[in-house]
Structure formats: structure tokens, C-alpha cells
Amino acid sequence: MSPTPRACRAATAVLTLALLVGGARLPLWQMTLHAPQYVGGLRLVIDGRGVHGDVDELNALNHYIGMAPIRMDRIPEARLFTPGVTAVAAGVLVAALTGWRFLRALALVGLWALPLAFLADLQWRLYLFGHSMDPLAAFRLPAFTPKVVGRTVVMNFDVTALPGIGLVLMLLAAVVFAVGPWAARRAHPALRRLVPAAAVLALAVAGSAATARGESPPFDLARAVAAAPPGAVVVVPPGVYPGPLVLARPLVLRGQGRPVIDGRGAGDVVVITGERVTLEGFAVRGGSLLYSREAAGIVVRGAGAVVRDNEIDDVLFGVYLAGARGAVVAGNTIRTAALPVERRGHAVYLWHSREILIADNRILRGKDGIHIAFSNETRVERNLVTDSRYGLHVMYSHRNVYRNNVFLGNVVGAAVMYSSDVTLDHNVFEGSRSVAAGAGLIFKDADRLLVRGNRIARNRVGLEFDNTPAERGGWAQVEENLVAFNEVGFSLMSTAAIAATGNTVVENLRPVEVRGVLRTETSRWQVAGRGNYWGDYRGFDASGDGIGDVPYRRADVLERLGDRAPALRAFLFTPAHLALEAAVRLAPLARVDPVVEDPAPLMRAPGGAPGGAPAPAGRGLLVAGVLLLAPGLLAAARLRAKRAP
């Protein structure tokens, strides 16, 4: 017996509705962003209710390239989605009940239009995001269009976008509705019997998807912690738990689905006093914001603590290690409360602690991003710090290593003061452009200092040295760094005595400035006969050994005068200044001590950093010189011959 058209229509309609409504509740589109500083990547998910996932982080990131923030209230057409789904579902239902062909056709158009319009609109929005960047942003990117489906690579970000299961189901609904009655009539009877089953199953899936996000089962966190034997692993289900939570015994506290611990403004939110406590996978928020209480999201006093993969938000201090030893703070996202800088606390704060590892954290706001005081033998690696006063602030802390971190858009990237045996290598210090105090790196009274392989770009001042090294026999070696696009590359107080070699110093408004009483002999611009690459070097290399044959020298008359009469600095970079400089260079009108003298400048930028054209070969240069000189000599000879009689 062949099924009646009515039964076919009904079965098709039920299946279609289940797929449509279920799909509209599930993720419609997802985007994953991978970058070195994001462990596990960032995710963005769109479903019928809005945008979810790491929206805040992405917005913070986008802020630096001037992208508009992702906000639902700026995407008005998103509000049409739910009414659209409802209308089409109603159309499908009524068409199935009545059998009106016109309505069926209309519903079919709607079914196809919904997911396709969604994708088209999203692509249009992505295009707008990539093409309307604020020209005043810290970083300027060329316009680009993220693909709505597929992979887009921008800077060091690798973005993959895919339709979600919800969108696939919605498209499936459209297919089912289009071919359903026809297929039902022609299908094998055995298959036909499966149709109601499939419909029921789809309904169940849709129903569970709709109700999945429910309340968490009651779980008493404080009681579970109190009852756990030492060393136990306590898995905490999703939910919101009240702080403050004190962890006084060895314990692994693991959040599943990122449970929230909310301090509700009472003081510290989580306090770790016991040894070997692990806290991971939580959202910690809501500590006291009163500055005088100096409360923190997570306080660590015990030894061997691990604070990992937490999201710490809306607190005064983020993670505060007071007298802690051997702790690990890794993979956390920390953002202190949005207060003016003098009211904020540090995102990560070390005080009289030692042997600490701070790695892979994303610090999106703090007074200081990472503040280290009186804490030795500590490593800071692969962190990202933005929007803070000092990205890294080191006071009275020795034998520490700072490696592969990224400091973007802080007032000062890093300030290292009164500390010795400091290693800073392969970090990025960019966008510290504050007019009053912006600097990539500041050193004051630092000893046995190695600054190597860092990228220091687009700051007001690249590196500033004051009284460094501070002790007799101390040293400060600055090597293989890229110092580019800063207003001032190196700013040396006359008390500084650094040794610089193999650095690439290009496109700075002023490569080196010396402040205070000038003593050029204090800093050395070469080590073992190897100097630095200077973008504005005008020498040559006849011997072909890669080292320029004339020293790189910069003497700035006006700057020297400006030290005596600061008002003269108003003439910096004016034609008058340039004329004065040219005059002094051509004729020794006034003896001016150079602010920098590199006896062995490099002809090429080391390490493939941006440099100029390859230096011409020595012999070619000689020929060119003779050819240029010849007409001049000839002219001079003629002139003399004419005058002779």
C-alpha cells in the first residue's frame, strides 16, 4: 500500500520542523583563532541567541588593530533571526496541515533563505570588520576580509571559520522539505517505516538541545573542599559558588565547564595557604575593589601551588603571590577591574616569592601586568600583556629570566629597577607611545643585564638606561635586538654604560639620545669588533668584510644646545635644525661630541631584520668614486689654467 500524500506531507513536515528548530538552537557558525600567545586558541560561536565564546578577548585584541568591537547591538539584523525561524516553521506547519501549494512554496523559499542569508550577512559583516579599522589604532593593518568559511591568516593569527552543526541541520531541513514527499512516495517500504522514527529522534535531539543549558546540580564547594582527603582531586561542576574560598591542604581543585567563584566584593576570592594546591579551570571574579584592602582574585601563600587555566576578572589584584615558593601561574586570562590606573592593582603580583613560573598568561588589564618585587629565580615566559602601566615591573629581584613575552600598548613595556642577573630575550615590546612617559624598556640600576633578540618597535622611546650597570664590575649587554620605528631608539642617561652589538637600529626618529652630562666613552657600541646595523649609516665597506670602513657617528648640535636651553628643542626637525646639522657635518664650525660612535658598524642587518639594499661591493664603489671625482678635478684644473696667465 502506498502512503497517502497527506501522511507523506506530515512526516516530512515533522522532520523538517525538528531539524529547523533544533538547528536554530545549536551553534550556527564558529571561528577558531590560533596564535602563539593563545594556548588552545580563541573561539567565537554564533547561535540564535548571539555571539559567545572569547568575545572579550577578541575585542581586546581587535582594539589594537583598530577593529570595531563585536557587539550584538551593532548588528541589528541579528534580531530578525528568531522571528524568521518562527515564521518559516509556522509556514511549514500550516502548509503541511492544509496542503496549500502556494504556502508550501513560500515555506521552501524561506527554509533555503534563512541559512544562506545568515552566511551572506555574516560574510558582509566580516568584510566590514576588516575594512573599517580605526586609523588611530596602535597597529595598522591593511584591510582584509576574513572568510566566512575557510582559513584566513592575518599577522601571526590563524583564523579558521566553519558552519556549525546548527546551520548544517537547517540546510538539511531545507533539503528534506524540498524532496521529502517525493522521496517518501518512492522510497522502499522498509525505509518508509524509518521516517517516523527519524522524526521522533530529531525531535528528541532538538528538545534536548533546547533545554541543555539548564541549572547546575547543587554542589557545596566549601563542604567538598573540607571533606576531601589531602592530595585528593575534586572536580567541580559548572555553577556559581560564593567566595572567599580558603584552600589550606594539598588538593587539586578542577573546574569542569568553568565554574565561577564569586567573591561578591568581600575581600580575597580564593586564598591558597596550603602546600601543593592546584586550582584550574575556574572563573574567579568579584573581589573587593577597595584599594586600601589590596584584595586579590587568587592569593598564594603556600609552596608548590599551581594556578592554571583560570579566568580572573573584576578584581583589584589578579594573582598575588606573597611569600610563595615554587608556584606555577600558567594559562590564565587576567583582567583587573576597569578602574583608573592609580586605583588598579597588578594583574600578577609577586612579593617576596621565589622559583615561580609565570607562563602563557593573557593579561588584558592591570596597573602593572606582572609586578615582581623581592622575588628571585623566577621565569616569565610566553605571556601577553596589554593595557597596563608597566607591562612588566621588576624591583629588587635577581636571577630572573623573561623570555618570549609580548608586551603591547602599555605605558611602558618593561621597567627593570634595582635588580641584577637579569635576562630579557626574544620578547616583543611594541606600541608604548604615551606622550609623557611611553617607553619599550626602562632600566634603572640594573646589573649583569642581558637584553637579547627582542623586538622593540613603535614606542616613544625604545630603550632607556639610567645608572645601568649600577655597580663597579657590573655590565649591561644589549645584543641582536631590533629597534625600529621609535621616536628615540636608545635613550641613555649619562650614568649609563651599556655595551651594544649586533642590534638593528632602523627608522627611529633619533637613534640615540644622551641625557645629562655627555660622556660618550661610557657606552660601547661594539663588542669584539662587531658593531650594530644603523639604518642611517652613510659609510661603505671597501674591504668587503661586512663592517663599515668609517665609523657610524651621530652628533647633534641642536640636541647639545637643547640640553642647556630646553626651549631650543622647539626647533627640533625644523629646516633650521637640518641646515645647522648639515653645516656642522660639512664644516667643523663647532666641535660637537658625538652622542653615538660605532667604530664597526654592520653593513647588513643581522638575522634578516629589515635593512636597506645590499651594500655595494668595494671595487664598484671605488670605480664609482673615481668616476664622480673626475669631472670635479677636471673642472678645477681648467679653472686654474684660465687664471694662471
Partner 1 sequence: MRTITRRRLIGLAAAAAAAAPGAWLLLERAPAQSGPPEIRYGRDRCDACGMLISDPRYAAAARRPDAALRYDDIACLVRGAGHAVASGVADGWVHDAATEAWVEAREAAYVRSPAIRTPMSSGLAAYATAAQALAAHPGATVFTFAALVGAPAAGPRG
* CA–CA distance, 51 with 30 (Å, rounded to integer): 10
* Residues between 354 and 373 with contacts to partner 1, criterion CB under 8 A: 367, 373
Residue 261 burial (10 A CB sphere; 0-12, 13-18, 19+): buried
* CA–CA distance, 501 with 514 (Å, rounded to integer): 18
Place of cell 661630541: 593
Binding-residue pattern over the window 295 to 334 for partner 1, x denoting contact by CB under 8 A: ----------------------------------------
CA distances from 31 to 113, 281, 373, 572, 621 (A): 22, 22, 40, 49, 55
Which cell goes with 631? 669631472
* Residues between 415 and 454 with contacts to partner 1, criterion CB under 8 A: 415, 417-418, 434, 436-437, 442, 444
Binding segment (CB under 8 A) for partner 1, from list 3-11, 147-155, 391-399, 503-511: 391-399
Residue 596 CB partners (closer than 8 Å, separation 6+): 490, 511, 512, 514, 520, 523, 525, 552, 553, 554
**Packing angle of the helix pair 5-25, 165-186 (nearest 10 deg):** 170
Q: How far is the CB of 570 from partner 1 (least distance, A)?
A: 7
Q: Which is nearer to partner 1, 139 or 418 (CB)?
A: 418
Taking CB under 8 A as the criterion, the residue among 325, 389, 448, 455 binding partner 1 is 389
Q: How far is the CB of 349 from partner 1 (least distance, A)?
A: 9
Does 100 help bind partner 1 (rule: CB under 8 A)? no
The torsion defined by the Cα of 302, 304, 309 and 314, in degrees rounded to 10, comes to 20
* CA–CA distance, 641 with 337 (Å, rounded to integer): 83
Which cell goes with 486? 621609535
Taking CB under 8 A as the criterion, the residue among 64, 100, 219, 374 binding partner 1 is 374
Binding-residue pattern over the window 270 to 299 for partner 1, x denoting contact by CB under 8 A: ---------------------xx-x-----
Q: Which is nearer to partner 1, 229 or 566 (CB)?
A: 566
Does 528 help bind partner 1 (rule: CB under 8 A)? no
Q: How far is the CB of 437 from partner 1 (least distance, A)?
A: 5
* Residues between 70 and 99 with contacts to partner 1, criterion CB under 8 A: none
Does 586 help bind partner 1 (rule: CB under 8 A)? no
Q: How far is the CB of 401 from partner 1 (least distance, A)?
A: 17
- The letter for the amino acid at 444 is K
Does 565 help bind partner 1 (rule: CB under 8 A)? no
Residue 634 CB partners (closer than 8 Å, separation 6+): none
Residue 180 burial (10 A CB sphere; 0-12, 13-18, 19+): buried
CB atoms within 10 A of CB 356: 24
Q: How far is the CB of 376 from partner 1 (least distance, A)?
A: 8
Binding segment (CB under 8 A) for partner 1, from list 185-193, 295-303, 394-402, 604-612: 394-402
Taking CB under 8 A as the criterion, the residue among 338, 341, 550, 622 binding partner 1 is 341
Q: How far is the CB of 492 from partner 1 (least distance, A)?
A: 13
CA distances from 501 to 7, 407, 494, 524, 604 (A): 84, 23, 19, 9, 13
Does 9 help bind partner 1 (rule: CB under 8 A)? no
* Residues between 462 and 501 with contacts to partner 1, criterion CB under 8 A: 466
Q: How far is the CB of 374 from partner 1 (least distance, A)?
A: 6
Residue 248 burial (10 A CB sphere; 0-12, 13-18, 19+): middle
Secondary structure letter of residue 440 according to DSSP: E
Q: How far is the CB of 80 from partner 1 (least distance, A)?
A: 44
Residues of this chain that interact with partner 1 (CB under 8 A) are 291-292, 294, 340-342, 351, 367, 373-374, 376, 389-390, 395-398, 411-412, 415, 417-418, 434, 436-437, 442, 444, 466, 567, 570
